[in-house]
Structure formats: C-alpha cells, structure tokens
A and B are shown apart, each in its own frame.
Chain A
Amino acid sequence: MSISSPQTGGTRRPSTKPAAGAKPAGKSTKSASPAKPAAKGGGRPPITPVKVSQGTNWGPIALFSLVGLIAIGIIGFGVWQVFKPVDTWQQKADAIPGIVNYKKTEPDYLKAAQHQFGPITYKQSPPVGGPHNPNWQRCQGDVYDAAIANEHAVHAMEHGAVWITYRPDLPKAQVDKLAAKVRGNDYMLMSPYPGLNKPISLQAWGYQLKLDNADDSRIDQFIQALRQNASQEAGVVCSAGNYINTTGTTPHDLGKEASPAAS
C-alpha cells in the first residue's frame, strides 16, 4: 500500500511536463492541464477552466473529514476501552438486588472486631460481623452438616470467607446445589441455621443477602463480588493451626485457660 503511493506521484510528475512545455502556446497558469490548451489551440488564455481548478475542491475535504472522524472514533473507542473505569467489588456488591450492606448502617460495630471467649450476642441473624472467638471456623470449602457457632463463623468471615446458611427444612436437592458452590473452594463455608427467617441467607463481612431458592443467580454474584474481597485482614487464610472444623453452636474456647486475657 505505502509503496504504491510514491509511485503514483512519480507517474504523475512526468505528465505535467508536457503542460509546462506547452506554456508558450498559452499564458495559462501552472495548474492548467495539458489537454485544455491543446483543445483551445492558439486562442486567448482560457479563464473558466482555471477558475474551476482553483475552486474549493470538496472531494478531498470531504474525504479527509470523514477519515478524520473515523480516526477520532477509532482512537476514542480504543482509549475508552483501555481506561474506562472498572466497577470495584464494592460497587458490584451494592448492585446486587436485595443485598444489605451493614457497613453503611453499622460502620463502628463492624470495625471494632474484638476477640472474646464465650457466647456472643449479635445484632444480625445470622451475624455478618462484630466481635468473635479467637479461633475461626475452617473455611476451605467446608460443608458442615450441622449448625456451627456464630462466634467462629464470624471470625471466618473476617478472613474473607463467604458463609452460606440455610434453614434446616430446605429440600436436599437445593442443599446439594449450595454445597456444590462451596465444596473444594477456599474461602467458602456452609452450614444449616435453625430459626433462619428465609430459606437461604448468604453472609460476608458486612453484607447479607436472603433468598428463597438455591437457583437464584444472585448467589454467584454475591460470591464473586465478596469472596476474599470482604476480608478485614489482607492475605489471611481459611486453614488454621488450632482449627475448628467441627459443628456445635457453643464456641470452642481453645486456649482460654492458657490466655485469660486473650484479645
């Protein structure tokens, strides 16, 4: 393509030479085409053809305007594609219909997340954050078949886990669908939750979404937006040394005797 354009110029230039050579015949300006003087013979300098050739040439203007507009469009689209703002995980979470963001209504409660032994009363049911047991519930894709202690689950959410809870009367087929989203996936745990006011409730630190059905597409949206992202401590794990991977709603106060002032 680019090679052909100089050649076009090259072939054009010799063709103008006869015109220059024909100059004495007519006093036409340099821009007169060779054919015109020849046709007029020895007559006076033709005026009309000159005016035509010097008039505004709309062809190139239109062409270059069009090319320019296309160019601006292409470049603008490319730049927008590259630099367009990406939704943050918080924006993605807040966009999920029905989600409750307790960070907006309970910011202080969710920031002061102290360790404490013994049973803890939570503001939400199931809880979405707050003070918690020093030991966290193992959350490396653990599917618990019985209720677990809030105090350990809250600590798991502090580490970035998404906790799926369901009312014990949820049909087994739906429980299995939920379990498939959890089993083998790090930063996920699941347990039945007696007394739940909806069939299913999803929790991450500060967020809750209550649902009627395991086929609800918002479950995946919740997990994608909040799993790990909702963590309160960057880079912490879901496995544990003093692991809690057993069920029972009474917190396991491991090490309580050894550290009475555990914080």
Chain B
Amino acid sequence: MLTDLFAPPRRPALLLGALAAVVALLIGYAAGLLTARPSTPGDNSPEAGFARDMSAHHAQAVEMAMIAWQKSTDPDVREMAYNIATGQQAQIGIMQTWLLDWHLLPTGTRPKMAWMPDGTKELLPDGRMPGMATDAELNQLRTLTGQPLDVLFCQLMLRHHLGGIHMVSGLLSLSHDKQVTDVAEQMKNAQQNDVTNMRRLLTDLNAQPLPS
C-alpha cells in the first residue's frame, strides 16, 4: 500500500492534487483548532458597545436609587431603591470585567448606541440614551421629599427601566455570546419585574407614569 503510494501513478497530477487537498484540509482544521478558541468580542462589537453604554445607563439608575434610598421614608420605595442600586452597580462591575477580559478599553471610539442598528437615531435630542433622566430632573429629585419624592423616583426609574429593557432587547437580538446574553436576560427579567412593581407603587401613591 505504502509502496503503491510512491509508485509513479498514471496521472501524477491528479494524485498530488488529491494529496494536497487532504493536507490543506488538515492544515485548515489544525489552524482552526489553534486559533478559534480564544476569540472574544471586538472593539466595535454589539457586546462591547452594550457593556460600555449600559454601564453609563446603569450609573444614572444607581444615582437616582441612592437618592431615594437616602431620602425616602416609604419602606417599599426604599427597598426597591436599595435593590436597584446594589444590583445595577454589581452589573456595572460585571460589564466592566467583560471589557477587561476582552482586552478592550472602557471607552470606545464610536457614538453611543452605534452598536444597535439605527441605534444613534434612538438617542434623545440632547444625546441621552433611551429612558435617561435630564440633569434638571435629577436636581429636582434631590430637592424633593416625602410623597412627591417617591412619585418622581418611581416615574423616572420606570421610564429609565423601559429604556434599559429596549437596549437589552437590542443586544439579545444581536449577540450569541452566552456569557453576555445570560446576564442580559437576567437584567431584562429583573427590570420587567421592577416595572410591574413600580406601576403598582405609583397606583398606591395616586400617581401616573410619565407620558412616553
């Protein structure tokens, strides 16, 4: 068999071509084995864009929740605020760790929301991401106390969550990175539950959600 292989074949070009094809396939397989394993999302990937933008989006939720935690006297509102502040700050840490693991900087080179198709068109006229509060709204939240504080907090956070859920859904339709989508699914579920609870809180406070 081996000697057959080295005998001059009748059509040497055909044999050599076949052998070359087999060798090429083996090379391709080996190269794939060697290089495919550590591939991670790139600088302009949806995953990286999401990690950066959602970190900033979460940071504002944490700030609003900390204001409510500090100033509200309603146990339900304070519990909600505590949960959001600690949970979203932890999620910021998770997202920043992704970027570290992927050897990417916390700051990207593209505009906010550019990782979503037509995402930059969804920015509010002053450049805010969906659901985010204005500086004026935050300052107002800082000045209020009592029931008006609880109402404004629930209104702002409800709108904030709806914007966040929209962004998470955008990521889930783009990413197949299980590490990322697992956390994103959890964010979505948690925020959807918060939305339900805050709608109920607003009803209890005799108030309505902000017009969207």
Q: Using CB atoms and an 8 Å cutoff, list the residues of chain A in contact with chain B.
A: 1-2, 4-5, 8-9, 12-13, 15-16, 30-31, 33, 53, 57, 59-60, 63-64, 67, 70-71, 74-75, 78-79, 81-83, 86, 89, 92, 140, 183-187, 220, 223-225, 227-229, 235, 237-239, 241, 243
* CB proximity of A23 to chain B, nearest CB, Å: 14
Nearest Cβ on chain A to B22's Cβ, whole angstroms: 6
User: Which residues in B have their C-beta under 8 angstroms from that of A33?
Assistant: 8, 10
Closest 7 CB pairs of A and B: A239-B63, A78-B35, A5-B18, A228-B106, A71-B27, A86-B103, A186-B56
Query: Inside 8 A of B55's CB, which chain A residues have their CB?
Result: 186
A2, A16, A59, A92: which contacts B22 (Cβ < 8 A)? A2
B60 part of interface (Cβ distance < 8 Å) = yes
B206 CB to nearest A CB, Å: 29
Q: Which residues of chain A are near B127, meaning CB under 8 Å? A: 183-184
Question: B: which residues have CB within 8 A of A?
Answer: 3-4, 7-12, 14-16, 18-25, 27, 30-31, 34-35, 37-39, 55-56, 59-60, 62-63, 66, 70, 89, 92-93, 96, 103, 105-109, 112, 126-128, 142
Interface contacts beyond A12-B4, A239-B66, A241-B66: sample of 8 additional A-B pairs, CB < 8 Å, sorted by A: A4-B18, A9-B15, A12-B10, A92-B105, A184-B112, A184-B126, A187-B106, A237-B89
State the main secondary structure of chain B at its contact with A. Answer: helix
**CB–CB A67/B27 < 8 A:** yes
Chain A residues whose C-beta falls within 8 Å of the C-beta of B89 in the assembled complex:
235, 237
Contact residues in A for B8 (Cβ distance below 8 Å) = 31, 33, 53, 57
Residue of B15, B60, B96, B126 near A8 (CB, 8 A) is: B15
B107: A residues at CB distance < 8 A? 223-224, 227-228
Between-chain CB contacts (< 8 Å), 30 pairs? A1-B25, A2-B21, A2-B25, A5-B22, A12-B9, A12-B10, A12-B15, A33-B10, A60-B16, A63-B16, A64-B19, A64-B20, A75-B27, A79-B34, A79-B35, A82-B37, A82-B39, A86-B103, A140-B63, A186-B56, A223-B107, A224-B108, A235-B92, A235-B96, A237-B59, A237-B63, A239-B59, A239-B63, A241-B70, A243-B142
**Cβ of A185 and Cβ of B56 under 8 Å apart?**
yes
Min distance, Cβ B80 to any Cβ of chain A, angstroms? 18
List residues of chain B with CB within 8 A of the CB of A228. Answer: 96, 106-107
Judging by beta carbons under 8 Å apart, are B31 and A74 in contact?
yes
Cα A14 to Cα B90 in complex, Å, equals: 72
Of all chain A residues, which has the CB nearest B99?
A: A228
Closest to A78 in B: B35
Query: Chain B: which residue is nearest A63 at the CB level?
Result: B16
Q: For the complex, what is the distance from the CA of A257 to the CA of B112, rounded to whole Å?
A: 43
With both beta carbons as reference points, the residue of chain A lying nearest to B56 in the complex is identified as A186
